[in-house]
Chains A and B, each alone.
Chain A
Amino acid sequence: MTKAVRPMVGVVDYQAGNIQSIVNALDHLGAQARRVSIPEELRGLSHLVLPGVGAFGFCASRLRSSGLLDDLARWTLVDRLPLLGICVGMQLLADSSDELGHQTGLGWGGGRVRKLETDSRQIRVPHVGWNTVIFEEDFGEYRSGDSADFYFDHSYAYDAPTVAHRVAHCSHGRLFCAVIRRANVVAAQFHPEKSQSAGMQFLRSFLELRRDA
């Protein structure tokens, strides 16, 4: 940590997937990490992570019934504090997703989520495994042009859309956004908490974000 103050990171626990691995990874980095399952637990935090494992519809409905949405909206849109969406957590931040018809996302990250297509027996879906992510912009410890392999496990992904929000891309059949950033909202399609040292570097880079003035 370059700053004197240790980041206090909340991991939103809305009963949709593995919180512990992210808490573990953040602990490993020297941050203070804890679960957030009620609004009061947001107090005093400097960063927030929105994980997500599961089908979009299932996660969206769990998030809606978590009682946290209003406070998450305030954190993100009013207080403009750093928020990191991971995997389905990233997709929930989109404007919309094509999973099971057409579903509306929170819209905080913008963009559209579409299914990855197989076009041959070389491109299989779900996209599972380590793939190369190419950074197009500086982000934390990454410089534009850097690349790193991260672990992916998903069938849906952001279109490579509004270039303004695309920090890094990956390719599997088509180009898709691996990392997006819209001011204080960052999101990754891969699992940094499962991507060994590459993932740690990515999480460290997120932790370098401070409050958006």
Chain B
Amino acid sequence: MLKKRLIPKLLIKHRPMGRSVRPVLVTTRSFSDAQDVGDPISQAKIYEAQLADELAVLNIDGTPIAGDEVMLDLIERLAEETFMPLCVGGGVRTIEDFGTLLNRGADKVSINAAALASPQLIGDAAGRYGAQCVVVSIDFRRDEYSRWMVMRDHAALSGGRELLDWAREAVARGAGELLLCDADRDGSGGGLNWQAGQQVAAAVPVPVVLSGGCGRAEHFVEGFKLGGAEGVAAGTFFCFRDQNPMQTRAHIRNAGVPIRMET
């Protein structure tokens, strides 16, 4: 049967180093306080050895991916040095960007701000590349009325979209997968927002991946069993925590969640 997915997130920033610019792996807390944690390629290989089901690579500078040889070269090298599925996002603006990334080695391309600005892009990309390549990434947080509101460019728009509403629209337009991230929980280690996940998962027929706040193996179990998630993406959890990834998998499996245990 279909297994649930553990998806390490590689958050990438561009760092000038001498005369060149290098892609650096970082972690964040509530989408800020980026801390350098090392080289993305080495970390990706470690994740692969630890049985990661998929890798999410996100350019958090949000600079346009078109012509960004630093990021594009990184994706190409990741595809060369690892043999695992790659979802790439950050700065994707046009349908040509989809093609560029898919040709360099991405299996799926994630759009966030561009989808909010021009929802048409979702359907155009799905029409050419298939829904299975189109991931709509949604960052959200509670507003002052406790509603889950979609964020845009790391800020909740006042009078913006509600999470459920946008999730439904994105899927209706052709998104093959949703990647939800609770901004308040990002990097907190306090647990996923599985409640939001549950509502979104009940509302759409496509896979939903939850992210933001994993601190213990049990949080993953909540995401899968309570949150309706097909995948859980985590950045800080895999970088900093002392957790042994295989123990995390074993804990998840022992909780009755189908998950890969060997290559």
- B201 close to A55 (CB less than 8 A): no
A25 vs B84: C-alpha distance in the bound complex, in angstroms?
Answer: 11
| Residue in A19, A131, A195, A196 whose CB lies within 8 Å of B2 | A131
Of the 9-residue stretches B112-120, B130-138, B143-151, which lies at the interface with chain A? B130-138
A53 pairs with B131, CB closer than 8 A: no
Between A19, A121, A131, the greatest number of chain B beta carbons within 10 A of the residue's beta carbon is seen for A121
Residues A124 and B83 in contact in the complex (CB < 8 Å), given A18-B107, A129-B2, A155-B176: no
Residue of A nearest to B3 (CB): A130
A167-183 interface code vs B (CB 8 A; 1 in, 0 out): 00001100000000000
- Residues on A with C-beta less than 8 A from B126 are 55
Is B162 an interface position by the 8 A CB rule?
no
Asked if B83 and A18 make an inter-chain contact with CB atoms under 8 angstroms apart, the answer reads no
* Size class of the contact patch on chain B: 35 or more
Knowing A124-B205, A200-B83 are in contact, say whether A129-B127 is a contact too (CB < 8 A).
Answer: no
**B-contact 0/1 string along A17-43, CB 8 Å cutoff:** 111110011001000000000000000
Give min CB distance, A104 to chain B, whole Å.
18
The answer to whether A194 touches B80 (Cβ under 8 A) is no
Q: Is A125 an interface residue when CB atoms closer than 8 A count as contact?
A: yes
* Chain A 124-150: CB-based contact to B (< 8 A → 1; otherwise 0): 111111111000000000000000010
Q: Are A121 and B177 in contact (CB under 8 A)?
A: no
Is the C-beta of A159 less than 8 angstroms from some C-beta in chain B? Answer: no
The segment from B17-25, B28-36, B98-106, B181-189 found at the interface with A is: B98-106
Q: Which residue of B lies closest to A152 (CB)?
A: B2
B132 touching A124, Cβ below 8 Å: no
- A196 and B263 contacting across the interface, CB-CB below 8 Å: yes
Q: A128–B132 contact, CB under 8 A? A: yes
Q: Are A55 and B130 in contact (CB under 8 A)?
A: yes
Is A199 within 8 A of B207, CB to CB? no
Report A37 CB to chain B, min CB distance, Å. 13
- On whether the beta carbons of A55 and B129 are closer than 8 Å, the reply is yes
Report the separation of the CA atoms of residues A194 and B86 in the bound assembly, to the nearest whole angstrom. Answer: 9
Q: Tell me, yes or no, whether A54 is within 8 Å of chain B by CB.
A: yes
Give complex CA distance A193, B80 in Å: 11
- Assuming the A-B contacts A55-B130, A191-B85, are A125 and B2 also in contact, with contact meaning beta carbons closer than 8 angstroms in the complex? no
Which residue of B3, B83, B106 contacts A28 across the interface (Cβ within 8 Å)? B83
Spell out B's residues near A (CB within 8 Å). 1-5, 48, 53-54, 76, 79-80, 83-85, 102-108, 126-133, 176-177, 201-202, 205-207, 228, 230-231, 260, 263
Interface CB pairs A-B, < 8 A, 10? A18-B103, A20-B76, A20-B104, A54-B133, A125-B206, A126-B130, A151-B54, A153-B133, A155-B176, A196-B84
Give 5 nearest A-B pairs by CB, closest first: A126-B132, A197-B263, A118-B205, A126-B176, A55-B130
